[in-house]
Amino acid sequence: MASGTDTTTGKSSTVDDASSPSGVEAGADDELYLRLKTFEGQAAVTAGEGKDPVNEPMIRHWCEAMGDTSPAYQGPDAVAPPTMLQAWTMGGLSGHPGRSAAHEELFALLDEAGCTAVVATDCEQEYLRPLRPGDRITFDSVIESVSPRKTTKLGAGYFVTTRMDVRADGEPAGTHRFRILKYAPAARRDSRTQDGRPRPPGSGGRARSPHPRPVVNRDNAGFWDGVARHELLIQRCTDCATLRFPWLPGCNSCGGEGWDTVAATGSGTVFSYVVMHHPPFPAFDPPYAVGLIELAEGVRVVAGLVGMPPGKVRIGMPVRLEFRTVDEDLVLPVFSGGREAGTWPVGPGDELPPLTVPVTRTVIVSGAIASRDYQDVHHDTEAARDKGSPDIFMNILTTNGLVGRYITDFFGPGAVLREVAIRLGVPNYPGDEMELRGRVLARDGDTVDVRVVGTNRLGHHVTGTATVAVPASEAVPSASQEPHPEPTP
Ligand SMILES: [Zn+2]
């Protein structure tokens, strides 16, 4: 969960903005804050009990909502996805019976002060043992901290951090630190424009990427139209059938002016490449590799090389065409090293292939229900508007589940998530797409740390890290294996 887009100024904002040093902060003279602070260290839940034991139907609903098809979560030996940790502790539609008087009092004080709305902003989970059907869940939770009053685009309020210890059949199973913003909703957002048409999510609030734009003219417009449809079109002379690229008005071979197009199959090899270190451009994050790719059709294309550390690019390396959505107005063809999940040596700097998640109303609502989160802002558009959001938005448990799926999709069913720590930025609204990208930060034996960023049209929806243990015998070969031929100079 997160914040919204200011439809007046068109500026996109995040809860991060609020917690940054520039956020508006009340001083120690905030009487309410001084009262709230006395709750730090008090129990929020003591000896809470999960409403249901870990069970197959909830696991299946979760996996369906997250699109997670890992065999680890199916069949007689199934475990629960680790990112479900919090779901087993949720009160669901009928609420939490086990909350302490201190917790009730803290939230009542905030409600009385007008901070009636709530969004989650951070979630840090550590997984100590797998959860299996039949495990009975118990938990304790403590109010760890309350922030001074902060002003955010959603409204002014207080960040409350709780820490929970989760047990399965009495054994420690995981820990869960959770930060929410309890806030007084700013004025209701109307999601309609002045002419009465629905406002598409993010419209007016979208910061265009600083990425340079292609120069589109009469001679090459057809090429960029194709790219927008995720097709790389090669011109073909209708007189002599010679293929040509880049697009030109006439045939180099026979001078003929007639042409049609063929769509590239998408396979190619690196004919040559450069790795850019300098000069830096705002749109790019050096070092990065740009390749001259020889397509299977025989023509050559200059494009970015993605999905691998620049230092691993080699002449002759097979690559595969992908399309990268830079922002709403720009799609670019790029080429990635043709690695399959788990078949590359994994080390610092390696990039995971991106995962694009369509953010539909169905995904948002099914994720909320699979995680037993009945906060109205995740299913009721009117209620979301009353709380200062232009529409419903994805809950943090779904985002966490998607991050977990992204990691285990890549590392394979033998990999075990140890920790996932995420922070939410701009919300995931219906109609958007989120692209998850990951980069390996460190590897220590079989333990791999991955930085994960999920981006939508408004900016970063989620940033965080995941730690995953990969059995030595599985999935990730040793770093000495070289999957691609060395260059032959
Ligand atoms: Zn020709």
The domain spans of the chain are: 15-205+353-469, 221-327
Residue 282 confidence class, pLDDT cut points 50, 70, 90: confident
Residue 4 confidence class, pLDDT cut points 50, 70, 90: very low
Distance 244 CA to ligand 1 centre (A): 9
Distance 418 CA to ligand 1 centre (A): 60
Residue 326 confidence class, pLDDT cut points 50, 70, 90: confident
pLDDT value of position 407: 94
Q: Name residues whose C-beta falls within 8 Å of residue 274's C-beta, 6 or more positions apart in sequence.
A: 289, 290
**In Å, what is the CA distance from 217 to each residue of 64, 214, 239, 259?**
45, 9, 24, 17
pLDDT value of position 317: 86
| β-pairing verdict for 351-359 and 43-49 | unpaired
More confident residue, 286 or 175: 175
Q: Name residues whose C-beta falls within 8 Å of residue 104's C-beta, 6 or more positions apart in sequence.
A: none
Residue 365 confidence class, pLDDT cut points 50, 70, 90: very high
Amino acid at site 262 = V
- DSSP, res 476: S
Over the stretch 21-30, which tens digit does the pLDDT of each residue have? Answer: 334 455 556 8
pLDDT value of position 429: 96
Residue 386 confidence class, pLDDT cut points 50, 70, 90: confident
3-state secondary structure of 334: strand
Distance 238 CA to ligand 1 centre (A): 7
Over the stretch 100-126, which tens digit does the pLDDT of each residue have? Answer: 999 999 999 999 999 999 899 999 999
More confident residue, 475 or 45: 45
pLDDT value of position 232: 97
- Kindly report the average pLDDT of the chain as a whole number: 84
In the predicted structure, residue 83 carries a pLDDT above the cut 50:
yes
Token pair of 127 as six digits: 């997984």
Distance 243 CA to ligand 1 centre (A): 8
Distance 422 CA to ligand 1 centre (A): 56
Distance 218 CA to ligand 1 centre (A): 20
- 319, β-bridge pairs: 268, 337
What percent of the chain shows pLDDT beyond 70?
A: 84
Residue 284 confidence class, pLDDT cut points 50, 70, 90: confident
Residue 19 confidence class, pLDDT cut points 50, 70, 90: very low
In the predicted structure, residue 430 carries a pLDDT above the cut 90:
yes
In the predicted structure, residue 486 carries a pLDDT above the cut 50:
no
- DSSP, res 95: -
Residue 190 confidence class, pLDDT cut points 50, 70, 90: low
Q: Where are the beta strands (DSSP E) in 307-446?
A: 318-327, 330-337, 351-359, 416-424, 432-444
CA-CA-CA-CA torsion sign (105, 106, 107, 113) = positive
In the predicted structure, residue 456 carries a pLDDT above the cut 80:
yes
392: nearest Cα among 364, 424, 357, 420: 364
Over the stretch 84-94, which tens digit does the pLDDT of each residue have? Answer: 999 999 999 98
In the predicted structure, residue 278 carries a pLDDT above the cut 90:
no
User: Which region among 35-44, 48-57, 476-485 has the lowest average model confidence (pLDDT)?
Assistant: 476-485
Over the stretch 229-246, which tens digit does the pLDDT of each residue have? Answer: 999 999 999 999 999 999
Distance 142 CA to ligand 1 centre (A): 75
pLDDT value of position 461: 96
pLDDT value of position 12: 37
Instruction: Report the distance separating Cα 291 and Cα 306, nearest Å.
Output: 10
Q: What ranges in 346-487 are assigned the alpha helix state H?
A: 361-370, 381-386, 396-411
Q: Name residues whose C-beta falls within 8 Å of residue 123's C-beta, 6 or more positions apart in sequence.
A: 86, 176, 177, 178, 179, 396, 397, 400, 420, 421, 422
Distance 258 CA to ligand 1 centre (A): 8
pLDDT value of position 5: 36
Instruction: Report the distance separating Cα 295 and Cα 243, nearest Å.
Output: 11
In the predicted structure, residue 13 carries a pLDDT above the cut 90:
no
Distance 132 CA to ligand 1 centre (A): 66
Ramachandran region of residue 21, left (φ > 0), alpha (ψ -120 to 50) or beta?
A: alpha
pLDDT value of position 97: 74
- 447, β-bridge pairs: 444, 469
Instruction: Report the distance separating Cα 97 and Cα 102, nearest Å.
Output: 14
| β-pairing verdict for 330-337 and 300-306 | parallel
pLDDT value of position 328: 78
Instruction: Report the distance separating Cα 37 and Cα 40, nearest Å.
Output: 6
- 325, β-bridge pairs: 331
Residue 483 confidence class, pLDDT cut points 50, 70, 90: very low
Distance 298 CA to ligand 1 centre (A): 15
Distance 297 CA to ligand 1 centre (A): 16
pLDDT value of position 108: 95
pLDDT value of position 285: 75
Instruction: Report the distance separating Cα 423 and Cα 15, nearest Å.
Output: 9
Amino acid at site 350 = D
Distance 86 CA to ligand 1 centre (A): 64
In the predicted structure, residue 14 carries a pLDDT above the cut 60:
no
What percent of the chain shows pLDDT beyond 90?
A: 63
Specify whether the CB–CB gap between 422 and 438 falls below 8 A: no
In the predicted structure, residue 436 carries a pLDDT above the cut 80:
yes
Distance 226 CA to ligand 1 centre (A): 22
Distance 387 CA to ligand 1 centre (A): 63
Residue 146 confidence class, pLDDT cut points 50, 70, 90: very high
In the predicted structure, residue 199 carries a pLDDT above the cut 80:
no
Domain 15-205+353-469: which CATH class? alpha beta
